[in-house]
Amino acid sequence: MEKRPGAAVCDMTTRLPVVLGALFALGLGLPALAQEGPIVVYNAQHETLAQEWATAFTEETGIPVIIRQGADLEVANQILQEGANSPADVFLTENSPGMVLVDGAGLFEPLPQDILDQVPSQFRPENGNWTGIAARSTVFAYNKDALSEGDLPTTMAALAEPEWQGRWAASPSGADFQAIVAAYLVLEGEEATLDWLKGMQTNAVIVRGNRAALAAANNGEVDGALIYHYYWFGDQAGTKESSGNTALHYFGNQDPGAFVSISGGGVLKSSQHKDEALAFLRFITSAKGQDVLRDGQSFEYAVGVDHESNPALPPLAGLGAPEIDPTQLDTVKAAELMTEAGLL
Amino acid sequence: MAVSVDLGATKAAKNARSLGSSGHPLILGAAALTGLLSLLPLGFVVYIAATSGWGTIADLVFRPKVGGLLVNTLMLLVLVLPLSVLLAVALAWLIERTDIPFAKFWSWMVIAPLALPAFVHSYAWNAFMPRFHGLGAAVLVSILAYLPFLYLPVAAQLRRLDPAQEETAQSMGKRPIEVFFLVVLPQLRLAILGGALLIGLHLLAEYGLFVLTRFDTFATAIVDQFQSVYSGPSANLLGGVLVLLCLGLLGLENLVRGSERYARVGAGAARRRGRVALGRWRCPALLLPLIFAALSLAVPVLTLGRWLWSGGAEIWRFDFILPALGQTAVLALAGAVLTTLAAVPMAWLAVRAPGRVQRTLEACHSYVGALPGVIIALALVTITVQVALPLYQTLATLIFAYVLMFLPRALVGLRTSIAQAPVELERAAASLGRPPVSAIWHTTIRLAAPGAMASAALVALGITTELTGTLMLAPNGTRTLAMRFWSYTSELDFASAAPYALLMIVLSIPLVIMLHMQSDRVEQA
Amino acid sequence: MLELRGISKSYGDHKGASDVSLVAPSGSRTVIVGPSGSGKTTLLRLIAGFEAPDAGTISLDGRQLHGAGGSVPPHKRNIAYVAQEGALFPHMSVGDNVGFAMPRQAVDRARRVDELLEQVGLPAGFRARRPHQLSGGQQQRVALARALAQKPDLMLLDEPFSALDTGLREAMRTMVGDVLREAGIASVLVTHDQAEALAFADHLVVMRDGLVADAGPPQRLYERPADVETARFLGEAIVLPSAIVGGVARTALGDVPVRHEDVARADVLVRPEQVVVAAQSESSMGALGRILHRSYRGAQWRLEIDCRDGGVAEPFCVDVPAGLDLKPGDLVRLSVANEAHVFPDSPT
């Protein structure tokens, strides 16, 4: 007689409608559950750093944190599109422009003075709608075999000169680099910026991501990479896989290449858990929160009042960074110019 | 992006007539609803194009950057497809038709790269040769990652060909090489076209592979735009161009294929007897599969092994890995069950009530699988955020996206198994007083259950390694294996990414086994 | 003339052919018949050159195809091969199939194709059709036309009718036989169907377990087979152990004339058509048997008769005229008409 290989699964088919119903209920119910209790952090900072903050915060307060990961401007635009219905409570970025974008739409809750007081005024906008949470410096990581100290560019502008053609790498599609361009725009004006970007379009080896740029300099594909400092320190502390052959060059002298970018944090007006959200922001700007920057593996600069950064880093104050009001950084214009130069 | 390796065994049942028409309306309605929902992404692209206005389109689409993307994409297609066809046919012929040593072993090795998601391939190459990127790397890694999509149908077709044809041709005075070009190759045409189409669609849809090989395509540019401005006109219009490319590819394949359908004439099992003796070429011939396996398997496995080793115990962050594994499992399971269920009405109609309406509906079901995940995700993000906010960022939307992406994959398997269930059982059940839908459910669908389980498994595996759609649509707090892997890899933290790659590979091994078995079965079909 | 000498071929443990020698006369229609696994198809493939024998020589019309001097590859043998189901090329039209072996630039190609199609009984309009649009019989006709097109020195037919319906099978067999005779092409046909073998062959080779069990004219093989198995394979056989005395075999069914010297014990072959059945009421001569079953055949009854009491080991079937009204359970008298055959290697 014929056997029935399908016999076991047959019972499944009878139960499938039940399973189906259950799954739909689960599918619809989960987001509702997610919005109960825990705070939702839209995070464009490095995931590991945000996770460290979240874990420490939850340990201290018992308030769970859900992190949604994205890129600065992606998340900023997402918040804009979600508007008043945004599920986000807190927004953290790597650079200021994303914060400026959301602030411009009036979606941030003004921060109480006690939070603002935890961060010196040069690291936050005057209106007090958001605050700096960390900082990073522009650097030129160069391959020690390819360049000696005498060969190094003295200004960022020099990298657009013909002799640097094909010799340096950068990641223009990222928000990091777009912030650097926005700083250039503030300091040098539109025309000079466009010229520089066109020079870059000719000269630079375009990669995706700062680490990839660093790796390109390290393996000798290019002589140097225009990146943020902490990628280099992070790699040095680890395997040195992408930085073993490289050293850092700080432009200093208030050059655009010495631009220090401020990572921001803010609480959304639409938040259903404002107290918890503010507590989170208060926590990461507090000494404890900033300790994570000092003691952890992020190598980003701490910005808390009188707070030490990671001892491996040269002091922030001594970098000769140009003074720029973060609210002046216009990435929309910067992106426009980059598109015009063919970089985007 | 769906992988539906159609081995060509599908054939609608001969007696397609079915129950009294009373069985149809419900099933037809269900199939129509699924078909209609499948049109959502296409409708979205059309809507965006229509509402953007010519000025915006001209500004955002007709610019040098898009031209560059187009050139890149075409270069990719023009290089990868012919090379893959050559390689796949050569490998399939060596392994299926010659006395190459360890043929059985090679037949596994050649499809084993399927166990590695494409972005894991490029991850390995990126770590193995950091300076290897650009077009060359994109082409090489694409070939390594996608070759099984061509190899499988070509090998299956080679096996299915009646050996008597070649023998007859030989006895008629044709030299072996003439026999290959006159008799064998023409009959591989459909298999080659189908496989090439599948690879072509993957090339258009793939994101991770090309990011890591530093090669810009429409998919990477769309995600770039998305990450700069979220759901904006620029990303959406690039999406429109990408959809046009996909449809162009489908149309091209249809055009080249024409109305030709090769069927094996006559019945009875074809017996394969002798294999071509390679003689003194027997050992040199080993080089081809050997090199392919070295590049497509040894490189990833060794690189992964190196990272796992150097990462030590530290990279096994089970507090991250276990939730990611759990979430991936829940998504894969829920997606697989719903996708398969959604495909049932269409599959049933395709077998039992073929006709014009059915063909149109089936086309709706199938085309959506040709769309890149990034398009489906873009459409659903925009639609939910703008008009269906309660569904925004929900599990329901994500799973709906999976259903759309993998519908064709489920359909192919289901159709085959329903075709094998005799229609008489439905009639018998109906004559015993069952209402039509119940009659179908308790006879045909029950008998088709094992086949349905297999196609559900294929869907689940597809979801396990899905990246772009998940990145863009996942509810807050979702971190799947692919997402974790990707976030580490994009920071070049290869060691931390390694456990996730390993898990995805382990989970994908059943896929390889199933496809291998499926292709073996063709022999008896 | 096709000549095989000492051909052996084995697949692992399985012996496909062991030390087979056979000769197929020029212009003859040779049929190799045997049960499945007997090695008949192996032999055909060795002749075609699809496989090489482990030992032995093959020659055709004096030309050595395989032997000490090496092996002629199949495409140089000019031996046509018609596979079980025709093996038409599905990607080509009927015309291209038939013209496959012709030179591509041949001016009279189209005309030749039409001629060949006509020869196998297909209208010229079939030229444009695709193989999958043809019935099984039509496919075989095309396959035959295609094989004829190459003007082969020998045509091999591998179970060419086995996929066809019974009625069609006979018609096809006649057609193929006629076409081959007209074209003057020698052929070797392989089949497992003894009726087909007897009908088609003018030279019959019976194979069993990789060996040639018997070979010769079909009538001789049917009437005077070399052994019991061959006898049973070619038709219904009643094998009666008997003593032979003075040209007469003393069998359970009575005395039967044989051509054989005296021997104490020999196996005698009686074909059912030799058995004479009479109702018990009408005859008192001969062995007594009992009718077990009967089935109606129109012109005849087929009776299954039990004669175990009389010394016949197994029940056997005999056809009797429809007028003879015998029912199951009836007793009948049995005798044998005409000469019987004594197996040469009968036990003594």
Averaged pLDDT, B208-221: 88
Which pLDDT score, from 0 to 100, does residue B302 have?
93
Averaged pLDDT, B110-139: 89
Residues B107-119 as b/e (b if ≥16 CB within 10 A, e otherwise) read bebbbbbbbbbbb
8 Å CB contact between B148 and B114: yes
Closest Cα in chain B to A178: B228
Residue B3 has which token pair?
Answer: 């992988």
B168 closest CA partner among C253, A12, C88, C266: C88
Cβ neighbors of C108 (< 8 A, separation 6 or more) are none
Q: Do C132 and B173 make contact, defined as CB atoms within 8 angstroms?
A: no
Closest Cα in chain B to C89: B165
ipTM of the complex model:
0.82
pLDDT classification of A24: cutoffs 50, 70, 90: low
Residue C333 has which token pair?
Answer: 């008298």
The correct answer on CATH 3.90.1150.10 for the domain covering C236-342 is no
Measured between beta carbons, which residues in chain A are less than 8 angstroms from residue B72? none
pLDDT classification of B259: cutoffs 50, 70, 90: low
Q: How far is CA C229 from CA C35, C80, C347, in A?
A: 11, 32, 14
B187 min Cα distance to partner chain C (Å) = 7
Q: What is the tens place of the pLDDT at every residue in A185-228?
A: 999 999 999 999 999 999 999 888 888 899 999 989 999 999 99
Helices (H), ranges, chain C: 40-48, 94-98, 109-119, 136-149, 166-183, 194-200, 218-223, 228-234
Classified as helix, coil or strand, B345 is helix
pLDDT classification of A93: cutoffs 50, 70, 90: very high
- How far does Cα C226 stand from its chain's mean position? 15
Closest Cα in chain A to B224: A173
Which pLDDT score, from 0 to 100, does residue B447 have?
83
B337 min Cα distance to partner chain A (Å) = 8
One-letter amino acid of B110: V
A259, pLDDT greater than 70? yes
Q: Do A19 and B487 make contact, defined as CB atoms within 8 angstroms?
A: no
Which pLDDT score, from 0 to 100, does residue A138 have?
95
Which pLDDT score, from 0 to 100, does residue B269 have?
43
8 Å CB contact between A299 and A237: yes
Which pLDDT score, from 0 to 100, does residue B4 have?
42
Burial of A320 (C-beta count, 10 Å sphere; 0-12/13-18/19+): middle
Report the CATH superfamily, name and number, of domain B21-257+284-521. MetI-like (1.10.3720.10)
- All CATH 3.40.50.300 domain ranges in chain C, comma separated: 2-232
Query: By percentage, how much of chain A surpasses pLDDT 90?
Result: 62
Q: Do C81 and B263 make contact, defined as CB atoms within 8 angstroms?
A: no
Q: Which residue of C51, C100, C132 is in closest CB contact with B172?
A: C100
C284, pLDDT greater than 90? no
Q: Distance between CA B213 and CA B131 in Å, rounded?
A: 10
DSSP of A6-22? THHHHHHHHHHHHHHHH
DSSP of C293-335? EEEE-SSEEEEEEE-TTTT-SS-EEEEEETT----TT-EEEEE
Q: Do A335 and B228 make contact, defined as CB atoms within 8 angstroms?
A: yes
Which pLDDT score, from 0 to 100, does residue A299 have?
92
Classified as helix, coil or strand, C292 is strand
Q: Distance between CA A136 and CA B259 in Å, rounded?
A: 62
A14, pLDDT greater than 60? no
Q: Do B334 and A27 make contact, defined as CB atoms within 8 angstroms?
A: yes
Q: Are strands A90-92 and A39-43 parallel, antiparallel or unpaired?
A: parallel
Residue A74 has which token pair?
Answer: 């992606």
Q: Distance between CA B368 and CA C19 in Å, rounded?
A: 63
Task: Tell me which of C182 and B275 has the higher pLDDT.
Answer: C182
B461, pLDDT greater than 90? no
Q: Do C163 and B164 make contact, defined as CB atoms within 8 angstroms?
A: no
Highest mean pLDDT of the ranges B76-90, B142-156, C222-236: B76-90
One-letter amino acid of B381: V
pLDDT classification of A28: cutoffs 50, 70, 90: very low
A47 min Cα distance to partner chain B (Å) = 8
B385 min Cα distance to partner chain A (Å) = 6
Residue B282 has which token pair?
Answer: 């027997």
Cβ neighbors of C127 (< 8 A, separation 6 or more) are C93, C94, C95, C98, C110, C113, C114, C117
Q: Do B262 and C48 make contact, defined as CB atoms within 8 angstroms?
A: no
Q: What is the tens place of the pLDDT at every residue in A296-309?
A: 888 999 999 888 89
Measured between beta carbons, which residues in chain B are less than 8 angstroms from residue C87? 162, 164-165, 167-168
Helix (H) or strand (E) holding B254: helix B233-257
Averaged pLDDT, C98-109: 82
A203 min Cα distance to partner chain B (Å) = 17
B524, pLDDT greater than 90? no
Classified as helix, coil or strand, B185 is helix
Q: Distance between CA B23 and CA B29 in Å, rounded?
A: 11
Rg of chain A over Cα atoms, rounded to whole angstroms, equals: 23
Q: What angle do CA C254, C259, C264 make, to 5 degrees?
A: 60
Q: What is the mean pLDDT of chain B?
A: 83
C332, pLDDT greater than 80? yes
A47, pLDDT greater than 80? yes
Which pLDDT score, from 0 to 100, does residue A213 have?
92
Report the CATH superfamily, name and number, of domain C2-232. P-loop containing nucleotide triphosphate hydrolases (3.40.50.300)
C44, pLDDT greater than 80? yes
Which pLDDT score, from 0 to 100, does residue A235 have?
87
- How far does Cα B456 stand from its chain's mean position? 14
Q: Distance between CA A238 and CA B83 in Å, rounded?
A: 40
Helices (H), ranges, B353-480: 356-370, 373-386, 395-419, 423-431, 436-440, 446-464, 468-473
Provide the CB-side half-sphere exposure for C345 (13 A, CA).
9
For chain C, say whether B316 makes contact (Cβ under 8 Å): no
Closest Cα in chain C to B178: C75
Q: Which residue of B173, B263, B264 is in closest CB contact with C101?
A: B173
Classified as helix, coil or strand, B72 is helix
Q: Distance between CA C75 and CA B171 in Å, rounded?
A: 5
Task: Tell me which of C2 and B59 has the higher pLDDT.
Answer: C2
Measured between beta carbons, which residues in chain C are less than 8 angstroms from residue B189? 91
Averaged pLDDT, C308-328: 85
8 Å CB contact between A195 and A160: yes
Which pLDDT score, from 0 to 100, does residue C304 have?
92
Measured between beta carbons, which residues in chain B are less than 8 angstroms from residue A70? 227
Q: What is the tens place of the pLDDT at every residue in B464-517?
A: 989 888 988 988 888 899 999 988 887 778 888 999 999 999 988 887 888 888
Neighbour subunits, A (≥3 Cβ pairs < 8 A): B
Q: What is the tens place of the pLDDT at every residue in C127-166?
A: 899 988 898 889 999 999 999 998 899 999 998 888 788 8
Classified as helix, coil or strand, C274 is helix
Q: Which residue of B168, B175, B176 is in closest CB contact with C81?
A: B168
Closest Cα in chain B to C134: B265
CB atoms within 10 A of CB B66: 17
B432, pLDDT greater than 90? no
C26, pLDDT greater than 80? yes
Q: Which residue of A19, A40, A173 is in closest CB contact with B337?
A: A19
Q: Which residue of C89, C132, C150 is in closest CB contact with B165?
A: C89
- All CATH 2.40.50.140 domain ranges in chain C, comma separated: 236-342
- How far does Cα B221 stand from its chain's mean position? 22
A156, pLDDT greater than 90? yes
Closest Cα in chain A to B385: A82
B216 min Cα distance to partner chain C (Å) = 41
For chain B, say whether C87 makes contact (Cβ under 8 Å): yes
B231 min Cα distance to partner chain A (Å) = 7
Q: Distance between CA A49 and CA C4 in Å, rounded?
A: 85
Q: Do B446 and A13 make contact, defined as CB atoms within 8 angstroms?
A: yes
Provide the CB-side half-sphere exposure for C235 (13 A, CA).
21
Q: What is the mean pLDDT of chain A?
A: 87
Q: Do B341 and A16 make contact, defined as CB atoms within 8 angstroms?
A: yes
DSSP of A164-218? GTT-EEE-TTSHHHHHHHHHHHHHH-HHHHHHHHHHHHHHEEE-SSHHHHHHHHH
Q: Do B492 and A209 make contact, defined as CB atoms within 8 angstroms?
A: yes
C311 min Cα distance to partner chain B (Å) = 45
- Fill in the DSSP letter of residue A301: B
B224, pLDDT greater than 60? yes
Q: Distance between CA B99 and CA A237 in Å, rounded?
A: 54
**Domain annotation for chain A: domains and CATH numbers:** 39-135+261-314 (3.40.190.10), 136-259+331-340 (3.40.190.10)
One-letter amino acid of C135: S
Q: Do A10 and B446 make contact, defined as CB atoms within 8 angstroms?
A: yes
pLDDT classification of B400: cutoffs 50, 70, 90: very high
Residue A123 has which token pair?
Answer: 């690291």
Q: Do B171 and C48 make contact, defined as CB atoms within 8 angstroms?
A: yes
Q: Distance between CA A30 and CA B334 in Å, rounded?
A: 13
B182 min Cα distance to partner chain C (Å) = 9
Which pLDDT score, from 0 to 100, does residue A20 have?
53
For chain C, say whether B187 makes contact (Cβ under 8 Å): yes
Torsion angle of C-alpha atoms A74, A76, A77, A83, degrees rounded to 10: 140
Cβ neighbors of A28 (< 8 A, separation 6 or more) are B394, B395, B396
Question: Which of B97, B260, B265 to mutate to test binding with chain C, by most C CBs within 10 Å of its CB?
Answer: B265
Lowest mean pLDDT among B22-26, B84-88, C136-140: B22-26
Lowest mean pLDDT among A3-12, A75-84, A105-114: A3-12
- How far does Cα C308 stand from its chain's mean position? 31
Q: What is the tens place of the pLDDT at every residue in B286-335?
A: 999 999 999 999 999 999 999 899 888 888 888 889 999 999 999 999 99
Closest Cα in chain C to B179: C75
Which pLDDT score, from 0 to 100, does residue B398 have?
94
8 Å CB contact between C294 and C301: yes
A31, pLDDT greater than 80? no
The sign of the CA dihedral C133, C136, C137, C143 is positive
Which pLDDT score, from 0 to 100, does residue B59 have?
77
Averaged pLDDT, C72-99: 90
For chain C, say whether B279 makes contact (Cβ under 8 Å): no
pLDDT classification of B274: cutoffs 50, 70, 90: low
pLDDT classification of C48: cutoffs 50, 70, 90: very high
8 Å CB contact between A166 and A201: no
Helix (H) or strand (E) holding B487: helix B481-490
Question: Which of B226, B228, B496, B500 to mutate to test binding with chain A, by most A CBs within 10 Å of its CB?
Answer: B228
For chain B, say whether C326 makes contact (Cβ under 8 Å): no
